[in-house]
Amino acid sequence: MFKKNQYINPYIGGFFIGLMMIAAYYFSGEGLGSSGGFRDVTAGVVNGIAPKFANNSAYYGRLVEDGRNPFNTWLVFEMIGIIFGAIVSAALFNRLKFEIGKSPKISNKKRLVAALLGGLFWGVGSQLGRGCTSGLVMSGMAVSSLSGYIGLMAIFGGGYIFAYFFRKLWI
């Protein structure tokens, strides 16, 4: 089963991710997420450095009010699990090594600058849009929320529109 650089059947992978989504709603009443965890960690760091600022901030205020600790959230614990789960899988399939994933036609520098920019867009977009592919779209679709479908259309539909303009990065 664990051949080097092999991937599992995508339908099996999707099925188990779907089961974890059901488990998340059943036990905790919320879906899987990622950008929310990033937000909580950011809020925790800002709160640690400048608690007064965080409390008075329109953005961080609700995350730290009443002495709440932004590190102590469901999403932060879920993300700790994600780190170990990903490492176990990568180790089993012999993919655990330092490298830069990119098209061979572009330089490392170009790839890393693009990755940084892409991350910046996600940071802003996920906060404005109330979640990312996991927390907005997949978790929304799991409970048939309209928000998930709007996110699906915008992220994937938008992706196909932008794809043409950035094709040199990938093909």
Partner 1 sequence: MGPLFPQGIISEPVNHLIAVFIGLIFGFFLEASGFTNTRKLAGVFYGYDFVVLKVFFTAAVTSALGLFLMNYYGLIDIKLTFYPATFWLPTLVGGIIMALGFIVGGFCPGTSFCAASTGKIDGMVFVGGVFLGILGYSFTYKALFEKLRNSGNIGQVNIADWLGISEGLFLFLLTTVAIAAFIFVTWLQNKLNSKKDPQFLQDLGV
| Interaction residues for partner 1, span 20-79 (CB under 8 A) | 20-30, 32-35, 38-39, 41-42, 46, 57-60, 72, 74-75, 77-79
Binding mask 100-119 for partner 1 (x = CB under 8 A): xxxx-------xx-xxxxxx
Both structure tokens of 73 = 């959230």
30, 47, 42: which is closest to 145 by C-alpha? 30
Q: How far apart are the C-alpha atoms of 2 and 45, rounded to whole Å?
A: 39
Amino acid at 17: I
Cα(87)–Cα(89) distance, integer angstroms: 5
Options 19, 50, 94, 168; binder of partner 1; rule CB under 8 A: 19
Q: Residues 65, 105, 124, 168: which binds partner 1 (CB under 8 A)?
A: 124
Ranges within 130-169 binding partner 1 (CB under 8 A): 130-134, 136-151, 153-163, 165-167, 169
